[in-house]
């Protein structure tokens, strides 16, 4: 789809104003508006602003060191995107190509609901970015960078007037560093990505059964015995918080309790409900260890711990977890049972509510606002708490009806491996929330994508988050009627490229991992075939990967296999599926599409043979062979059916059924490598097309 079509359809769907749809420099070289998230209001004008070595920026209005750093970072990013060397550093005042004007400072500690709006005016003569405070400037600079494109006369940004502000004030990304530790560099890369797409909350899931990842100076044994040495020092935490603040991002720490706490209990069994001894958990799942909600020792410990962490993390919000307590240690402990009886507590849910209430009091005592997973929503909890809904939109809606603020994460779990389109369709005010009153809807603050890290290492984490996270960022920032999928994918692909200029590794990691799988003796031809295979496949979805694992995965299982190297969403397969749909819609008459589909099927049909010798030499390739064979065989089935149909011999209903069954069996075969054939529905569709009598004959 051309930029004109995709932009025009976005305009129709999102009712943006479009004054002139014109090419910017030449009719042959229109500059696309690759902005993601889509701004609230865009008006295009004629012409473009050239970006060359004479480009300068200057500040008019409010100044602060954070703005100066943002200006320097902007020029660095512009240099990376264009390769142009900008000789002049940020000028303070006076005429410049881009004038940046903030009215005043933002809050010293970034707050929920601060004004993040900005206005960006670009004409062939120059550009002006205005915002009431620094936050809007940070967002507007990213929009400007997204607009930079190569045109027939060099780099340029299209003339445009943008008025922009977010739909939701809470637009977060959660990263679980408990199950797999993520070094500071990986966190910073992802903060850069968040800034690029205007996300403003980094939710740092710091403690888990598998690791306690933050330095406590009051209780140093927590990290000493609970982290294998993989934790953030307090200096590192402060450095990350500063880095995030520079990018308009709040940092909300999570200390998950009373469950998900094995790593705490290794060194502090005195606050546990069981008798221990405890060891760092190495497997994945829900486990029995839980804090003792009936012991005053627990609350004394948490009072001191929360006091320390409340000082370390300046954000107003403090996440106390609260998810997935199985209650087994509580049931097995006679003292806890006696406490329940004497306090007339009937169920473990009520016992957890008692614990949550006590912890919420401590958080409030230390001047923070508690936030927790939706399990903490029980009758009587104070109205100040914020509910993070992970079990469905229903809990978010119910919370809002009861007067609680909430954020949505159900539908935004990146580890499930869903497509960007599927995440994009999830709206915090959609489904049951649509029936809320305007006042209740105000209580829904936004959402957070979640990167749970069972299968995530520092090497591949960027690829598990990006670019799909940009689609979620758009859902949380842009007007609700921005729903055109073709436009979304065009802009997602453009942003994905730009993210690598910023230093993210969500694409580049793959070349290194495939090189490792192939070994240093692999030929270019083998690497090329392996790349084609990796780009066609996806890892198994939802939590089905465990089901086909040869042995139970643990935190020591190497993440070095093809399943770890494929992208969660195959762009090759997505485009193939779009082509297959269009081909079916044309009743096989579109010969250009036919050629494109055939070429792809022929390539896939031949892949397995091209990888045979590699599979002899590399155990990691051999392990992927069931998937490689399945792909080649599945492509062959579709290709033969199409060829026969074009020759006037469509599949009979019996043949159609048996070939369809064969495709489904091949999908199961791919699971042997924990991989999936994402083009399978498109192949089934091609079989449908090939079995419609007369559909493919002229």
Q: Nearest approach, Cβ of 510 to ligand ACM (angstroms)?
A: 27
Q: Is the bond leading into 195 cis (omega within 30 degrees of zero)?
A: no
> Which residue, judged by CB position, is nearest to ligand ACM in the bound state?
323
DSSP 8-state symbol, 672: T
DSSP 8-state symbol, 167: S
User: Looking at beta carbons only, is 408 or 687 nearer to ligand ACM?
Assistant: 408
CB half-sphere exposure, 464, CA atoms < 13 A: 30
Q: Nearest approach, Cβ of 513 to ligand ACM (angstroms)?
A: 27
DSSP letters for 224-284: HHHSTT--B-HHHHHHHHHHHHHTT-EEEEE---SSS-HHHHTT-GGGBSS--------B-
CA–CA distance, 607 with 611 (Å, rounded to integer): 6
Q: Nearest approach, Cβ of 324 to ligand ACM (angstroms)?
A: 5
Site for ligand ACM in 522-541 (CB under 6 A): none
Note whether 204 binds ligand ACM by CB under 6 A: no
User: Looking at beta carbons only, is 354 or 543 nearer to ligand ACM?
Assistant: 543
Note whether 392 binds ligand ACM by CB under 6 A: no
- Cβ neighbours of residue 191 closer than 8 Å, sequence gap 6 or more: 202, 240, 243, 244, 247, 249
Catalytic pick among 224, 236, 324, 546: 324
Note whether 688 binds ligand ACM by CB under 6 A: no
Three-state DSSP class for residue 8: helix
User: Looking at beta carbons only, is 323 or 688 nearer to ligand ACM?
Assistant: 323
User: Looking at beta carbons only, is 255 or 567 nearer to ligand ACM?
Assistant: 255
DSSP letters for 98-148: EEEEESS---SS--TT----EEEEEETTEEEEEESSHHHHHHHHHHHHHH-
Beta bridge partners of 584: none
Site for ligand ACM in 84-143 (CB under 6 A): none
User: Looking at beta carbons only, is 324 or 571 nearer to ligand ACM?
Assistant: 324
Q: Nearest approach, Cβ of 548 to ligand ACM (angstroms)?
A: 22
CB half-sphere exposure, 418, CA atoms < 13 A: 19
Please count the other Cβ atoms lying within 10 Å of the Cβ belonging to residue 112. Answer: 18
Note whether 390 binds ligand ACM by CB under 6 A: yes
Q: Nearest approach, Cβ of 408 to ligand ACM (angstroms)?
A: 12
CA–CA distance, 532 with 602 (Å, rounded to integer): 12
Site for ligand ACM in 147-176 (CB under 6 A): none
DSSP H/E element including 539: strand 538-539
Q: Nearest approach, Cβ of 321 to ligand ACM (angstroms)?
A: 8
User: Looking at beta carbons only, is 255 or 390 nearer to ligand ACM?
Assistant: 390
**3-state percent helix, strand, coil for the chain, nearest multiple of 5:** 45, 15, 40
User: Looking at beta carbons only, is 192 or 324 nearer to ligand ACM?
Assistant: 324
DSSP letters for 561-592: SHHHHS-SS-HHHHHHHHHHHHHHHTTT--HH
Q: Nearest approach, Cβ of 228 to ligand ACM (angstroms)?
A: 22
Note whether 323 binds ligand ACM by CB under 6 A: yes
Q: Show the binding pattern over residues 264-303: x = contacts ligand ACM (CB under 6 A), - = does not.
A: ----------------------------------------
User: Which residue do the tokens 């799942």 mark?
Assistant: 285
Q: Nearest approach, Cβ of 373 to ligand ACM (angstroms)?
A: 5
User: Looking at beta carbons only, is 262 or 496 nearer to ligand ACM?
Assistant: 262
What is the rounded end-to-end Cα distance, in angstroms, of the chain? 27
Q: Nearest approach, Cβ of 389 to ligand ACM (angstroms)?
A: 10
Beta bridge partners of 319: 254, 371
Site for ligand ACM in 461-480 (CB under 6 A): none
| 651 neighbors 697 (Cβ within 8 angstroms) | no
User: Looking at beta carbons only, is 323 or 459 nearer to ligand ACM?
Assistant: 323
Number of residues that bind ligand ACM (CB under 6 A): 4
DSSP letters for 626-670: HHHHHHHHHHHHHHHHHHHHHTT-PPPHHHHHHHHHHHHHHHHHH
324 is catalytic: yes
User: Looking at beta carbons only, is 136 or 447 nearer to ligand ACM?
Assistant: 447
Note whether 418 binds ligand ACM by CB under 6 A: no
Note whether 324 binds ligand ACM by CB under 6 A: yes
User: Looking at beta carbons only, is 501 or 543 nearer to ligand ACM?
Assistant: 543
| 197 neighbors 171 (Cβ within 8 angstroms) | no
b/e sequence 176-200, b meaning 16+ C-beta within 10 Å: bbbbbbbeeebbbbbbbbbbbbbbb
DSSP 8-state symbol, 50: E
Note whether 543 binds ligand ACM by CB under 6 A: no
Q: How is residue 423 written in tokens?
A: 């995440």
Beta bridge partners of 122: 127, 160
Q: Nearest approach, Cβ of 325 to ligand ACM (angstroms)?
A: 10
By residue count, the chain amounts to 698
User: Looking at beta carbons only, is 260 or 340 nearer to ligand ACM?
Assistant: 260
CA–CA distance, 471 with 488 (Å, rounded to integer): 7
Note whether 373 binds ligand ACM by CB under 6 A: yes
Q: Nearest approach, Cβ of 281 to ligand ACM (angstroms)?
A: 15
Q: How is residue 516 written in tokens?
A: 């490792």
Catalytic residues: 324
* Residues lying near ligand ACM in the complex (CB under 6 A): 323-324, 373, 390
């Amino acid at each position: 789809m051309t930029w004109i079509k995709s932009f025009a359809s976005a305009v129709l769907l999102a009712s943006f104003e479009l004054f002139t749809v014109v090419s910017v420099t030449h009719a042959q070289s229109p500059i696309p508006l690759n902005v993601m998230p889509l701004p609230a209001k865009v008006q295009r004008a004629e012409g473009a602003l050239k970006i060359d070595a004479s480009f300068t920026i200057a500040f008019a209005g409010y100044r602060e060191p954070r703005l100066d750093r943002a200006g320097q970072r902007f020029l660095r990013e512009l240099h990376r995107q264009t390769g142009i060397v900008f000789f002049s550093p940020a000028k303070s005042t006076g005429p410049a190509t881009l004038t940046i004007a903030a009215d005043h400072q933002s809050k010293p500690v970034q707050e929920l609901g601060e004004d993040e709006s900005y206005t960006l005016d670009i004409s062939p003569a120059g550009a002006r970015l205005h915002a009431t405070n620094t936050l809007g400037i940070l967002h507007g600079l990213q929009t400007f960078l997204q607009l930079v494109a190569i045109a027939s006369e060099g780099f340029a940004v299209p003339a445009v007037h943008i008025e922009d502000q977010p739909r939701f004030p809470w637009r977060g990304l959660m990263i679980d560093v408990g199950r797999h530790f993520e070094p500071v560099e990986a966190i910073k890369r992802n903060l850069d990505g968040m800034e690029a797409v205007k996300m403003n909350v980094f939710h740092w899931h710091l403690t888990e059964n598998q690791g306690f990842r933050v330095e406590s100076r009051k209780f140093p044994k927590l990290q000493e015995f609970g982290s294998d040495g993989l934790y953030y020092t307090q200096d590192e935490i402060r450095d990350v918080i500063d880095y995030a603040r520079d990018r308009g991002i709040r940092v909300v720490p999570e200390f998950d309790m009373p469950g998900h706490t094995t790593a705490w209990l290794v060194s502090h069994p005195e606050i546990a409900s069981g008798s221990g001894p405890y060891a760092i958990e190495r497997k994945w799942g829900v486990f029995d260890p839980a804090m003792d909600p009936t012991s005053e020792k627990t609350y004394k410990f948490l009072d001191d711990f929360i006091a320390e962490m409340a000082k370390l993390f300046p954000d107003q919000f403090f996440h106390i977890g609260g998810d997935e307590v199985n209650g087994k240690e509580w049931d097995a402990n006679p003292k806890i049972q006696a406490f329940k009886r004497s306090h007339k507590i009937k169920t473990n849910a009520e016992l957890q509510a008692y614990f949550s209430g006590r912890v919420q009091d401590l958080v409030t005592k230390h001047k923070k606002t508690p936030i927790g997973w939706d399990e903490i929503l029980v009758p009587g909890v104070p109205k100040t708490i914020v509910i993070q809904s992970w079990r469905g939109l229903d809990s978010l809606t119910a919370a809002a009806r009861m007067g609680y603020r909430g954020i949505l994460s159900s539908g935004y779990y990146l580890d499930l491996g869903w497509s960007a389109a599927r995440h994009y369709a999830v709206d915090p005010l959609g489904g049951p929330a649509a029936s809320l009153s305007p006042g209740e809807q105000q209580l829904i603050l936004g959402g957070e994508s979640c990167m749970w890290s069972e299968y995530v290492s520092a090497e591949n984490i960027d690829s598990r988050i990006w670019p799909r996270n940009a689609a979620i960022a758009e859902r949380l920032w842009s007007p609700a009627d921005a729903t055109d999928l073709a436009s979304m994918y065009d802009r997602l692909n453009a942003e994905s490229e730009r993210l690598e200029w910023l230093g993210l590794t969500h694409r580049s990691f793959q070349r290194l991992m495939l090189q490792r799988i192939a070994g240093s003796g692999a030929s270019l031809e083998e690497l090329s075939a392996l790349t084609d295979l990796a780009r066609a496949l996806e890892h198994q979805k939802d939590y089905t990967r465990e089901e086909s694992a040869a042995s139970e995965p643990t935190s020591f299982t190497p993440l070095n296999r093809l399943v770890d190297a494929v992208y969660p969403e195959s762009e090759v397969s997505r485009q193939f599926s779009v082509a297959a749909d269009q081909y079916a819609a044309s009743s096989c008459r579109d010969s250009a599409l036919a050629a494109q589909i055939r070429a792809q099927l022929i390539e896939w049909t031949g892949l397995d043979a091209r990888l045979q010798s590699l599979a002899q030499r590399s155990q990691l390739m051999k392990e992927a062979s069931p998937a490689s064979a399945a792909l080649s065989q599945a492509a062959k089935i579709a290709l033969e059916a199409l060829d026969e149909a074009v020759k006037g011999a469509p599949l009979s209903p019996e043949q159609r059924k048996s070939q369809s069954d064969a495709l489904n069996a091949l999908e199961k075969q791919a699971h042997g490598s924990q991989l999936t054939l994402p083009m399978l529905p498109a192949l089934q569709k091609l079989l449908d097309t090939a079995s419609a009598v007369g559909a493919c004959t002229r």
